[in-house]
A and B are shown apart, each in its own frame.
Chain A
Amino acid sequence: MNHDIDIKNTRINCFRQSKIKGEFLLQMRVPGGTLDAKYLEFVQHICKTWGNGLFHFGMRQCFNVPGIKYESIPAVNAYIKEYLEGVEVGMCNVKMDDTEHGFPTIGGRNIMSCIGNEHCIKANVNTFALARKIEPLIFPGHYHVKIAVAGCPNDCGKAHFNDFGMIGIAKMEYHQERCIGCGACVDACSHHATGVLKLNEFNKIDKDDCCCVGCGECTLICPASAWTRLPTKFFRVLLGARTGKQEARMAKTFLTWVTEDVILQLFANWPKFSAWVLDYKPEYLHGGHLIDRAGYQKFKEIMLDGVKLNPEAKVADNIYWAETEYRRDIHVKPLAEHKKAGPGATSGH
């Protein structure tokens, strides 16, 4: 068939161009990677009716349906109305004026998360509950950002490899009177975490609070509930990771010991920051690059604007990422080619 397709528009509509002419792959968001299992049948129907029968687990926990013909897109979009209304509007409180025409934006990527404390014995938080709360702050949105939520510092949720990665952590309470001095927490902390515990000469535990990562291994192993998590949930927020062909890098800590409330205030500022960097002209550029253009200090200023930090919160004074430069001096170029941020910034991409 002789196609005339605006593939940028189909991409924004979450239909990804295939190597096979006229075919597309539908990417359906699954905020927090966890859904009512009834949607499996729903997705299966799309695969069998309009796709080529294959199904792919999206790398960001999307439902990926390959082999959809361009002509089928309106029918698929009409069919996924129920999904958008159930998952985005109903489950995540996303404001969508139009649910008739499929996904409206691809900018804010699917928010990934591990299973979290719904199931996992290691997790400190309900990961997908947080993902679902962040969802309406970044979707629909044309500014590209990758977000992940991990339930504990094991980081199966890959918080270290996203623009923003949240890791659920817990502040521990030590009930000395319940401690039997077995030293199991000391071993667990040194084997699995940062080794901040020590059995003192009186058979109780001394803790070096400064380097506790809040993982909860002490609580998991304690036979007597001498270590318990405080009820308030805390997070470490990692920043600025990226993969790719130029300068891959792992995230560094931006915030630690912040509450969920702080995180939600933070993401409410993300569209504001992105818009400022790109001078209100969204382009296909991920969050980490926007931070690079603005510089960390400017990023911090805009992102923390009006955010009320909880008393325990700590913020990175500066961040020094370590990049894998695939070409030496990749950032060294004529001044005229430097990317600019803020008012008057022109697209250099």
Chain B
Amino acid sequence: MGFSLSLEKANAILNELKKEYRIYAPKRFEKQGRYSDTDIIRYDEIDSIEEIVTGEKSTYSPKEVLFPITQTILYFTEDEYRETKMDDKKILIFMRPCDINARKVQERIYMGNGGFDDFYYKRLREKVKFVMMECTKGWDTCFCVSMGTNKATNYAAAVRFLEDGILLDVKDEELQGYFADVAKAPFEVEFIEGNETVVELPQIPDKKVLNAIKAHPMWDEYNSRCIACGACTIACGTCTCFTTTDLFYTQNANVGERRRTYSSCQIDGFDEMAGGLIFRKSYADTMRYKVLHKVHDYKERFGENMCVGCGRCTDRCPQFISFSHTIEKLNHAIKEICEQPVSQS
């Protein structure tokens, strides 16, 4: 059901919605960027439509709403524990099609993977509805069209931002109730059909080639280029890794709280096992692990690629490592390996 709203009317409805919903959208945090006098755009609760940053890609992904960077999950005493509580409010998140598709990718890990649902993710997810922000132009580092994530249909509402108002397509019945006194207007959301960056998806035919890829010198450059800061994975809409930390009373270690916090395969110590065994010893190894996970390994298991082509990893890398260029290099390596004469070994 399509509607056309002035900003004033849209804000009035937003205020109504806020009685029932927490409303999250990409918001500008001035001068909080990595470099002096630069901004970041990240997800936070909004009070007006004007607060939503529509003309720039958010620095960080909306996953932070459903999967906070730090989340207290339970409190424990000597012999029992209880999960943290949540209020009754539902959640609306303004997000772009690639980010909606990234939900699907994360949810294969958090919900149903190994027949198990992540309680803390699921209880948040059940409260959430998506308001899809129309995205027809994208940015230089985006490659959603190549990844097939430029379109999404599982939204409660879709929005186009105009200079003096918004156009909405409201699919969710409960949300439609808020628009009873708004004149209907036809609106069909559009999608981006081509990105500046086009990526050919790597096809690794078999395990032999995969093993050859692992040993390929293409990864070596990352030993000197990557600084293992992990910024790519924190900004990534699909990375799911976390670690848990217990906070306890200093004078009674049996009482405290358990938190979970993002972790990253790119940072030192991530794959260090008890006893000191480290699987991926170099930054070439960690980069290879991440890249293959995003565009090959996950797909082998779940049938679809993990990467949604949002390009935030490239945007955030302080060393200008471009993920799409890395995929290109991977394609070259695969080609090189596949064209080599078959060896005896």
Contacts and interface: CB of A to CB of B under 8 A. Distances in A.
Nearest to A225: B40
B35 interface: yes
Contact of A180 (B31, B60, B262): B262
Contacts of A202: 245-247, 259
B66 to A, nearest CB: 15
B70 A176 contact: yes
A222 B245 CA distance: 20
A216 B36 contact: yes
Interface in B209-244: 229-231, 233-234, 243
Interface string A115-146: 00100010111100000000000000000000
B59 interface: yes
B68 interface: yes
Given A180-B234, A220-B35, 17 more contacts: A121-B34, A177-B70, A178-B70, A179-B261, A180-B267, A181-B243, A182-B230, A182-B267, A220-B34, A223-B229, A223-B233, A223-B316, A224-B234, A224-B262, A225-B34, A225-B59, A231-B30
A221 B231 CA distance: 9
A121 B35 CA distance: 6
A223 B69 contact: no
A178 B69 contact: yes
A180 B264 contact: yes
19 contacts: A117-B36, A117-B37, A121-B35, A125-B36, A126-B37, A170-B36, A176-B70, A179-B261, A180-B263, A181-B243, A181-B245, A181-B261, A182-B268, A184-B229, A203-B261, A219-B34, A221-B229, A223-B316, A228-B29
Contacts of B316: 223
Interface string A189-227: 000000000000011000000000000100111111100
A151 B268 CA distance: 31
Contact of B261 (A123, A180, A229): A180
B267 A224 contact: no
A228 B32 contact: yes
A223 B234 contact: yes
A302 B243 CA distance: 57
B229 A179 contact: no
A202 B72 CA distance: 12
Interface string B29-73: 111111111001010000000000000000110000000111000
A305 B59 CA distance: 46
A139 B102 CA distance: 59
The bracket for how many chain B residues form the interface is 20 to 34
Interface string B158-197: 0000000000000000000000000000000000000000
B231 A223 contact: yes
B318 interface: yes
B36 A123 contact: yes
A180 B34 contact: no
B226 to A, nearest CB: 12
Interface in B58-116: 59-60, 68-70
Contacts of A176: 70
B37 A179 contact: no
Contacts of A170: 36
Interface string A91-122: 00000000000000000000000000100010
Nearest to B266: A223
Nearest to A220: B34
B70 A179 contact: yes
A182 B245 contact: no
Contacts of B246: 202
Nearest to B31: A231
Nearest to B270: A182
Report which residue of A216, A224, A231 has the largest number of chain B beta carbons within 10 angstroms of its beta carbon: A224
A241 to B, nearest CB: 25
Report which residue of A125, A168, A170, A178 has the largest number of chain B beta carbons within 10 angstroms of its beta carbon: A178
A231 B40 CA distance: 13
Closest 6 CB pairs of A and B: A223-B231, A228-B32, A117-B36, A223-B230, A231-B31, A203-B245
A182 B70 CA distance: 13
A10 B232 CA distance: 60
A181 B59 CA distance: 20
Contacts of B59: 225
Contacts of B262: 180, 224
A119 B36 CA distance: 10
B245 A225 contact: no
Report which residue of B30, B36, B40, B318 has the largest number of chain A beta carbons within 10 angstroms of its beta carbon: B36
Report which residue of A117, A179, A180, A184 has the largest number of chain B beta carbons within 10 angstroms of its beta carbon: A180
